[in-house]
Amino acid sequence: MVYVTRRETFSASHRLYNPAWTDAQNEAVFDKCNSIHGHGHNYVIEVTVAGEPDPQTGYVLDLKLLKQIIKREFVDKVDHKHLNLDVEWFRSTIPTAENIARIAWDVLRPKIPSGTLYQIRLHETENNVVEYRGA
Ligand code: NI
């Protein structure tokens, strides 16, 4: 098994806020991330696909193709958006790095043309990274 990874970047803003809680609870849990007008991040997403290299091409999958799929199915829908306000995926889901990674998994997994999606790694800051490998 070989694991191939494509890295892409996007910029987005978000606000961490649970509508079921009081303002005080939200402030206590989310602190600065609860700031009412939101704040931005320069995200890095790394999409890893696992598979056997094709004997004809030597590729698990063509990374040019993976780049296009990530852009079309995910990055174009979140880049330069306010995740809470502009992106349907986050209407009822708090846009934490954890949930962004899970949504990226859900939308990309059925689109991978060869090999199998193995992992989504999402860097929200230089120091904060989440990984998701499915259920
Ligand atoms: Ni944030």
Domain ranges in the chain? 2-132
The CATH class that applies to domain 2-132 reads: alpha beta
Distances (CA, A) of 108 to 72, 74, 115: 10, 7, 12
Q: Among 14, 41, 123, 124, which one carries the catalytic annotation? A: 124
Q: Work out the average pLDDT over 117-123.
A: 98
Ligand 1 centroid – CA 61 distance (Å): 33
> Is 33 among the residues known to form the active site?
yes
Residues 72-111, buried b or exposed e (16+ Cβ, 10 A)?
Answer: eebbebbeebbbbeebebbeeebbbbebbbbbbbeebeee
Q: At 135, is the pLDDT very low, low, confident or very high (cuts 50, 70, 90)?
A: confident
- How would residue 120 be classed by pLDDT, with cut points 50, 70 and 90? very high
Distance 111 CA to ligand 1 centre (A): 28
Q: Count the residues in the chain.
A: 135
Q: Based on C-alpha coordinates, what's the Rg of the chain?
A: 16
Per the residue annotation, which of 27, 33, 82, 98 is the catalytic one? Answer: 33
Query: What spacing in Å lies between the alpha carbon of 39 and ligand 1's midpoint?
Result: 6
Tell me the CA–centroid distance for residue 57 and ligand 1, in Å. 41
Whether residue 129 is predicted with pLDDT greater than 90 in this model: the reply is yes
